[in-house]
Amino acid sequence: MEMKVIKNEIPLTTEFFPDRIIGRDQEISLINKLMFSSDAQTTVLIKGRPGTGKTLLAKFLMKLHPDYNGKYVNCYVSNSDRLILSEIGGKDYWRGGDLQSSSIESIIRQIFQKERRRNLVVLDEVHSLKSSNSKIIYILTRSTELELPPIKLMLLSIEDPEMFLDKSSLASINKINQIDLKNYNSSQLLEILKDRAQLALFEGTYDNDALMKIAEISEASGNARFAIELLRYSARLAELRDQILTSDIVLESSKDYTEPIDDSALRYLDEWEIDLLIRLLNNWNSNRFTTEEIRSILPVISDARLYKWLRDLESAGIINKRKLSSGYGGGVRNEFSLNVQKNYLLNALYNLKR
């Protein structure tokens, strides 16, 4: 008789929406205070690396406040002001109108003057707009100045706002309104895995050691998406073997499985950053490297550019940083490791340049 491990694969996919958000109680409480304690216009930026739960958290808060007219837009997919407003307004707003010829301000006025409920707009992957000369964030943060109802605006990004917002837009987002989602730790990852395993796998087909091993492997990146995907991959392998899911199967799976690369994270890198990463990967055989080793391959890069490049790669979830020791003159010597297999990352970068 064949061993069935997976009873419902949906909870192990990105389309699944859980009833509760694990490990983010403090952030939910803080955002509720910042955004929903008054009717005033408020902008909050939620920053975190891929897999830290930004999208899940935002959609959970939308569900938590059904009295708001909540609109969610992924700016990586809808990467211009008009496409974003088309998503916010919906197709009914554009019947008989001209989306292309109307000004951005006029379109916003059309959308929100028809809406009687309070407004909540979530812009995900908002760092994708950094090179598009977008006006949408500036205008939405000043909705009352346009004599429109106050708009609660939630921005989700892998990068600090200073890296993609102009000074005028940045002025409306003070430090208090910036929520930094830390990477999940192993105990949080284990709790998430237990919750998903209970929903997705048959009882008795997995042991706690297997889930602990996935949490241990995933802690380096703190990426819950990777942890859940590794659980899915390992459960499939166990099922193919007609075995229960054990830590040994997890270890075997982890050798072949790589953390998914977020396309939006790669696309937000500057072209020169992509070129440098390709050059480093083609000239370095290890998955780990220090700043000195980078300089041996890229000797002409300035300190400012090197710092920005490493910071952007870390924010995108491509590398992890670990402090090795204090360097000369009080500086810090760091080691960097790749979160994904080298060849897999190179293929993704070459496809991006085509």
- Top mean pLDDT of 51-65, 123-137, 155-169, 286-300 is at 51-65
Edge-first strand order for the sheet with 42-47 is: 68-74, 118-124, 151-157, 42-47, 178-180
Q: What is the pLDDT of residues 256-280, one digit of tens each?
A: 776 666 666 777 788 888 888 898 8
19-33, 234-248, 294-308, 316-330: segment of lowest average pLDDT: 316-330
As a whole number of angstroms, the distance between CA 337 and CA 200 comes to: 32
Dihedrals phi, psi of 211, to nearest 5 degrees:
-65, -40
CA 13 to chain centre: 15
- pLDDT score at 53: 94
d(CA 81, CA 195): 38
117 alpha carbon, distance to own chain's centre:
29
DSSP state of 265: H
Q: Are 51 and 317 in contact (CB under 8 A)?
A: yes
3-state secondary structure of 156: strand
Token output for 298: 């890229």
Per-residue model confidence as pLDDT tens digits over 307-353:
888 888 888 778 888 777 655 444 567 888 887 778 778 888 888 77
Cβ atoms 157, 50 nearer than 8 A: no
Parallel, antiparallel, or unpaired: how do β-strands 319-326 and 332-338 relate? antiparallel
Residue pLDDT, tens place only, 138-150: 888 888 887 777 8
What is the phi/psi pair of residue 181, to 5°? -80, 115
| pLDDT the model gives residue 353 | 76
Residue with tokens 């659980």: 231
- pLDDT tens sequence across 189-221: 999 999 999 999 999 999 999 999 999 999 888
178-180 and 42-47 as β-strands: parallel, antiparallel, unpaired? parallel
The residue length of the chain stands at 354
